[in-house]
Amino acid sequence: QGNACHHCLISFFPPTQVIKCKAAVIWEPKTPFSIVEIEVAPPKAHEVRIKILASGICRSDDHVLSGALKVTFPIILGHEAAGVVESVGEGVTSVKTGDKVIPTFVPQCGECSPCIHPRGNLCKLNDFGTFVGLLPDGTSRFSYKGELIHSFVSTSTFTEYTVVHESSVAKIDAAAPPEKVCLIGCGFSAGYGAAINSAKVEPGSTCAVFGLGGVGLSAVMGCKAAGASRIIGVDINKDKFPKAKEVGATECVNPLDFEKPINEVLHDMTEGDGVDYSFEVVGHTDTMIAALTSCNMNYGTSVMVGAPATGSEITLPPGLIITGRVWKGTVFGGWKSRDSIPRLVSDFMQKKFTLDPLITHTMPFDKINEGFELLQAGKR
């Protein structure tokens, strides 16, 4: 999980003033980022304008670059960041100018049914999956030479300044290092929460994590924190095994090393039982099915964490489920974003978990294309 840091002085503007700043814009899929000067309009009612201090590079952003996720172009990507509030619009009460914050791609309005439900967290104000690319009022605050630029999942953090709805921003500890806690905006929280909240991993259990990137490593950390006695990392890149073991994996396997399917390998490793919990953190339909069939046919739980390509479909025999297996998905690790992000940052500050293993590179903003090349090469 790499970080592209924005090395710029923090300056404050009157909230009615348009800000001109650098942003990384994608004009169409399968093309590199263009660093251009855009205009960022002031926040309207219930909106917050944020100076981005650090932004992580996430696989979901790369899915847009490859065309796997269908969005509206031109667009400013990025959804895993930390920053400071530059100005607020009318009616904003939860944050003020100067507050350190994390924008969140899963809003929390506190009023809709998912926000109110004890197990819900996918607020109805979200733009996750629909990818409209506009703020809740149906407009954008980004423009380039008069042309509208779309936002990405309520955040758009690959820019020096962004504007989000108040429901999409969480105030955090002012002392928190932005280049680390930005990962709590997506990757860490998604993986860690998948184990803690979505699967509810139990002490002494056996887990398998498919995909050992930043989110997968976070899932390993969540399994360890929950007390799992055996955590098997699964990845076709052996270079990721040492770090996986560093954060809690008890062993790692490469599917390419076996002639039989990886689900059969995992059943062999567990005396035919299969694992208690499995996590798919790749976003491919074949590994989703492999993870499902790797867990126990009666009491196993498999959680889909990785974002699939737009239009992906899965066909499987109902016998895989009717025997008792639980197959479920998770968004942002099941956390209610604005409630949980400040607590997770506090836990980090109290050294209850570390984020250092998830950071492989720290790069300046203008090196963003190189950062994605590292991601695509599996070197982050």
Catalytic residue among 63, 150, 165, 267: 63
Q: Are residues 323 and 348 in the same domain?
A: no
Domain count, the chain: 2
Q: Are residues 25 and 174 in the same domain?
A: yes
> Residue 143 catalytic?
no
Q: Are residues 165 and 246 in the same domain?
A: no
Q: Are residues 217 and 290 in the same domain?
A: yes
Q: Are residues 195 and 305 in the same domain?
A: yes
CATH code of 205's domain: 3.40.50.720
Q: Are residues 225 and 363 in the same domain?
A: no
The boundaries of the domain holding residue 300 are: 191-330
Nearest to 185 by CA among 204, 202, 172: 172
Q: Are residues 27 and 172 in the same domain?
A: yes
What are the tens digits of pLDDT across the range 41-77?
A: 999 999 999 999 999 998 888 889 888 888 999 999 9
> Residue 295 catalytic?
no
Q: What's the pTM value of the predicted model, to 2 decimals? A: 0.92
> Residue 117 catalytic?
no
CA dist 349 → 85, 167, 251, 357 (Å): 21, 24, 29, 16
Question: Does any domain span residue 152?
Answer: yes
CATH code of 55's domain: 3.90.180.10
> Residue 8 catalytic?
no
The series of mean pLDDT values per 10 residues for the chain, 380 residues long, is 43 71 95 96 97 93 87 95 97 97 97 97 91 94 97 95 98 98 96 98 98 96 98 96 97 97 98 98 94 98 90 91 96 97 98 94 93 79
Catalytic residue among 58, 109, 223, 252: 58
Q: Are residues 204 and 293 in the same domain?
A: yes
Q: Are residues 179 and 197 in the same domain?
A: no
368-376 vs 59-66: helix axis angle to the nearest 10? 90
Nearest to 288 by CA among 252, 257, 314: 314
> Residue 21 catalytic?
no
Q: Are residues 167 and 213 in the same domain?
A: no
Catalytic residue among 186, 223, 252, 295: 186
Catalytic residue among 46, 55, 60, 150: 60
Catalytic residue among 46, 79, 150, 267: 79
